[in-house]
Amino acid sequence: MTFDVTQIRADFPILQREVRPGVPVVYLDSTATAQKPLAVIQAMDDYYRRSNANIHRGVHTLAEEATALYEQAREKIARFINAPSARQIIYTRNTTESINLVAYSWARANLQPGDLVILTEMEHHSNLVPWHMLAMERDIRLEFIPVTENGLLDLEAYHKLLEQTPKLVAFTHMSNVLGTINPAAEIIRLAHQAGAVTLLDGAQSVPHFAVDVQALEVDFLAFSAHKMCGPTGIGVLYGKADLLEAMPPFLGGGDMIREVKLRSFKPNALPHKFEAGTPAIAEAIGFGAAIDYLSRVGMKNIAAHEHEITQYTLERLEEIPGVKLFGPSAEHKGGVAAFTLEGVHPHDVAQILDQDGIAVRAGHHCAQPLHEKFHIPATSRASFYLYSTKEEVDRLVDGIYKVKKYFG
């Protein structure tokens, strides 16, 4: 398929919206959550209109249909990340819950006091706080791969840390602030050589470029549907089969059991062992439709388009006096541009841009330690997806000049 952004934009109803009369939305906040194409909205709508029923336990037609749709979505997701089998796709609520699942189930079964977990300085709070909580409970040690001045991981420091034989290396594939795309395959290979298990936070990578879990040899991968054109309320934990098999259940209840006695239970097989209670059925089906949509457009096309937009954005923003950009150059970077404007707080930047319908985010973007590292309380962040255009970047640049005029 040839990539035509105008055609793509027509697939997204919200992009036709005006924020106020005569002011069309310029949505530059896809890193926080992506917009949804009509195909996804319709898949969920169809499900509720035609097939709504609880899954797995029913034998009636609706329950059969709902179960089939729910499980087909799992298979689509498995193919999308090249997982060996769909039973290695655990549905969760989001990336955060997926990471917590590893922290509660795998880590509590496998880590002892004094064991080392390696993280990085560019993690989202969702890959920090679960480990803080575990560290308080278990007395495990946390070390961090430093971030260099230009926004890359310091791999020399990582080599040194590996000499301390970590049990787990958990890191983000792509930073939601700097945009840095980390060399995941190399980090994982080195971790394995040191005997560590690896967890990859794919919240920002899986939506934006092809991620192949077998090529990466990663042990766990976490990601969220809502950042990849799917609905909120559903995410995935992928894991290697032997690890998932050996892990104790996380939440207890219906669906995750094979057999229950008054005083005991036997857990269900994968993936159901980790899916207690009625899941987000419509959302899983919507997720499947999102995968279909992204696959149709092609992840290579999406990555190439975003790269072009990012490069253009960096060029344009660098022209503006007083703008300081954070993160590496475009070659190491996904579709994120975090910046500060001299003399103006990021909140004020975002608020004034909003007057022209331009949606950017302001704050620490759930990465407070990273902002502390760069000695700034907050940044403004524009981020892109398959539907972003250079015209939107131009609107952003015009908007920033307007901010400068206000605060002149």
Ligand X SMILES: Cc1ncc(COP(=O)(O)O)c(C=O)c1O
> Footprint of another protein on this chain (CB under 8 A)?
343-348, 351-352, 354-355, 362-364, 368, 371, 377-378, 406-407
Q: Residue with structure tokens 């760069």?
A: 374
Stretch that binds ligand X, among 5-13, 64-72, 94-102, 302-310 (CB under 6 A): 94-102
For residues 335 and 179, give the distance between their C-alpha atoms in angstroms, rounded to a whole number. 6
Using CB under 6 A as the binding rule, whether residue 388 contacts ligand X is answered as no
Question: Which run of H or of E encompasses 24?
Answer: strand 23-24
> Residue 325: which of 333, 407, 350 has the closest Cα?
333
The CA-atom distances, in angstroms, between 154 and each of 166, 195, 314 are 17, 20, 23
- Shortest Cβ 380–another protein spacing (Å): 11
Question: Residues of 304-337 as b/e, b for ≥16 C-beta within 10 angstroms?
Answer: ebbbebbebbbebbeebeebebbbbebebbbbbb
- Shortest Cβ 120–another protein spacing (Å): 21
Using CB under 6 A as the binding rule, whether residue 30 contacts ligand X is answered as no
Using CB under 6 A as the binding rule, whether residue 204 contacts ligand X is answered as yes
Question: Which run of H or of E encompasses 336?
Answer: strand 336-341
Q: Which two tokens stand for residue 62?
A: 């609706």
- Shortest Cβ 347–another protein spacing (Å): 4
Is residue 397 within 8 Å of 27, Cβ to Cβ? no
Site string for ligand X, 349-378 (x = CB under 6 A): -----------------x------------
State the binding partner of 201 from ligand X, another protein, none, CB within 5 to 8 A by kind: ligand X
Size of the site for ligand X (CB under 6 A): 12
State the binding partner of 395 from ligand X, another protein, none, CB within 5 to 8 A by kind: none
* Degrees to nearest 5, angle at CA 101 with 99 and 107: 90
Nearer residue to ligand X within complex by CB, 224 or 389: 224
Q: Residue with structure tokens 């699942």?
A: 101
Cβ neighbours for 367, distance < 8 A, ≥ 6 positions apart? 122, 123, 124, 125, 175, 176, 177
Tell me the three state secondary structure of residue 342: coil
Nearer residue to ligand X within complex by CB, 172 or 389: 172
Tell me whether strands 116-120 and 89-92 are parallel, antiparallel or unpaired.
unpaired
Binding ligand X (rule: CB under 6 A), the pick from 67, 96, 182, 388 is 96
- Shortest Cβ 229–ligand X spacing (Å): 14
Choose, from 155, 359, 362, 366, the residue flagged as catalytic.
366
- Shortest Cβ 336–ligand X spacing (Å): 9
Nearer residue to another protein within complex by CB, 252 or 377: 377
State the binding partner of 374 from ligand X, another protein, none, CB within 5 to 8 A by kind: none
For residues 401 and 337, give the distance between their C-alpha atoms in angstroms, rounded to a whole number. 17
Binding ligand X (rule: CB under 6 A), the pick from 30, 126, 198, 310 is 126
For residues 404 and 2, give the distance between their C-alpha atoms in angstroms, rounded to a whole number. 39
Using CB under 6 A as the binding rule, whether residue 172 contacts ligand X is answered as yes
The β-bridge partners of 261 are 264
State the binding partner of 392 from ligand X, another protein, none, CB within 5 to 8 A by kind: none
Using CB under 6 A as the binding rule, whether residue 95 contacts ligand X is answered as yes
Using CB under 6 A as the binding rule, whether residue 203 contacts ligand X is answered as yes
Cis peptide before 267 (omega within 30 of 0): no
State the binding partner of 332 from ligand X, another protein, none, CB within 5 to 8 A by kind: none
Stretch that binds ligand X, among 11-19, 90-98, 144-152, 373-381 (CB under 6 A): 90-98
Asked about 366 being catalytic, the answer comes back as yes
Cβ neighbours for 42, distance < 8 A, ≥ 6 positions apart? 289
State the binding partner of 352 from ligand X, another protein, none, CB within 5 to 8 A by kind: another protein
Using CB under 6 A as the binding rule, whether residue 383 contacts ligand X is answered as no
- Cα Rg of the chain (Å, integer): 22
For residues 150 and 329, give the distance between their C-alpha atoms in angstroms, rounded to a whole number. 8
- Shortest Cβ 164–ligand X spacing (Å): 25
State the binding partner of 351 from another protein, ligand X, none, CB within 5 to 8 A by kind: another protein
> Residue 239: which of 110, 89, 92 has the closest Cα?
89
State the binding partner of 347 from ligand X, another protein, none, CB within 5 to 8 A by kind: another protein
> Which residues lie near ligand X (CB under 6 A)?
94-96, 124, 126, 172, 176, 201, 203-204, 224, 366
The residues carrying an active-site annotation are 366
